[in-house]
């Protein structure tokens, strides 16, 4: 995901090839060379496998927790350690990592804030904790994992140990859990909700839209669902320079 604020860009995770990233950024009117830093949620391959090539072309700082950095097969050349709850500044952008519950070394989500715009991102967590609810409160945009439908996961083709992992407290949020999380996060200033990190096997975009729409019924919140195959641009507030581009990592 790319966050652009006042012309500055940061990349959150890098799990796709450089060619795919460049193509999707260009479709949004952005260039990879504008990225000033990379933020990592955790070290799993689907979130970092494109990082090496990206850094060879664009040697920018990589911000991640100590556990994430230690768990990576290759260390980035310019790492900056993060800690949950400790703010870092990237120009005019405030970044606060928030601990999540996933079977990685030290995974986090992020709250990003610039001026009066506040964005919360949480993915790859098996539980939506009170800490996440507290840190992501009052966000104008919420990017929330909707990984699987419980019934599709239960009857689907995955082996039983993998099903147990996904549904565990250190796995991924189901649609039902995402709805419960959104009920805690919804408020009068919320503008945009993006369902993300959908399983291609165990979920359907139309299911996510239907279930999250029920939580947002009667509000003016715009609901989007990110695809693993294409870019999605989401503008926040009145400033067209403040936007988030989502897609696979």
The phi, psi pair for 29, rounded to 5°, reads 80, 25
Q: Quick one: pLDDT at residue 249? A: 39
Q: Quick one: pLDDT at residue 124? A: 97
Q: What is the pLDDT along the chain (249 residues), one digit of tens a residue?
A: 898 887 779 999 999 999 999 999 999 899 999 999 999 999 999 999 999 999 999 999 999 999 999 999 889 998 999 999 999 999 889 999 999 999 999 999 999 999 889 999 999 999 999 999 999 999 999 999 999 999 999 999 999 999 999 999 999 999 999 999 999 999 999 999 999 999 999 999 999 999 999 999 999 999 999 988 778 888 887 544 444 555 443
**CB-based contact 233:112 (threshold 8 Å):** no
Q: Quick one: pLDDT at residue 245? A: 54
Q: Give the number of other CB atoms < 10 A from CB of residue 57.
A: 11
pTM for the model stands at 0.92
**CB-based contact 206:178 (threshold 8 Å):** no
**CB-based contact 206:151 (threshold 8 Å):** no
Short-list 215, 94, 63, 83, CA closest to 144: 215
Short-list 97, 154, 102, CA closest to 125: 102
Distance (Å) of CA 133 to CA 58, 120, 136, 185: 35, 10, 5, 7
Q: Specify the 3-state DSSP secondary structure of 3.
A: strand
Q: Does an H or E element contain 166, and which? A: helix 160-167
**CB-based contact 249:1 (threshold 8 Å):** yes
Q: At what angle do helices 205-216 and 175-185 cross, to 10 degrees?
A: 30
**CB-based contact 232:226 (threshold 8 Å):** yes
- In whole angstroms, what is the distance from residue 55 CA to residue 77 CA? 8
- In whole angstroms, what is the distance from residue 64 CA to residue 80 CA? 7
Q: Which fold is adopted by the domain 2-246?
A: Metallo-beta-lactamase; Chain A (3.60.15)
Q: What is the residue extent of each domain of the chain?
A: 2-246
- In whole angstroms, what is the distance from residue 82 CA to residue 88 CA? 8
Q: Quick one: pLDDT at residue 228? A: 82
**CB-based contact 39:13 (threshold 8 Å):** yes
Q: Specify the 3-state DSSP secondary structure of 221.
A: coil
- In whole angstroms, what is the distance from residue 178 CA to residue 144 CA? 7
**CB-based contact 207:149 (threshold 8 Å):** yes
């Amino acid at each position: 995901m790319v966050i652009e604020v006042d012309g500055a860009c940061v990349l959150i995770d890098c799990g796709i090839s450089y060619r795919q990233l460049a193509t999707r950024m260009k479709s949004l009117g952005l260039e990879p060379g504008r990225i000033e830093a990379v933020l990592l949620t955790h070290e799993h391959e689907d979130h970092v496998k494109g990082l090496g090539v990206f850094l060879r072309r664009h040697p920018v700082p990589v911000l991640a927790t100590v556990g994430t950095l230690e768990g990576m097969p290759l260390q980035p050349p310019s790492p900056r350690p993060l800690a949950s709850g400790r703010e870092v500044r990237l120009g005019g952008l405030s970044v606060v990592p928030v601990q999540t519950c996933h079977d990685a070394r030290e995974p986090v989500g992020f709250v990003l804030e610039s001026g009066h715009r506040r964005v919360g991102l949480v993915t790859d967590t098996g539980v939506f904790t009170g800490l996440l609810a507290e840190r992501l409160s009052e966000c104008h945009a919420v990017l929330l994992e909707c990984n699987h439908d419980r019934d599709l996961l239960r009857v689907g083709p995955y082996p039983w140990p993998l099903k147990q992992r996904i549904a565990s407290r250190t796995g991924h949020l189901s649609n039902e859990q995402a709805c419960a999380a959104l009920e805690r996060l919804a408020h009068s200033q919320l503008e945009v909700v993006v369902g993300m990190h959908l399983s291609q096997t165990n979920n359907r975009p139309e299911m996510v839209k239907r279930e999250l729409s029920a939580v947002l019924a009667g509000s003016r919140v715009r609901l989007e669902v990110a695809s693993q195959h294409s870019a999605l641009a989401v503008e926040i507030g009145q400033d067209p320079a403040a936007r988030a581009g989502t897609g696979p990592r």
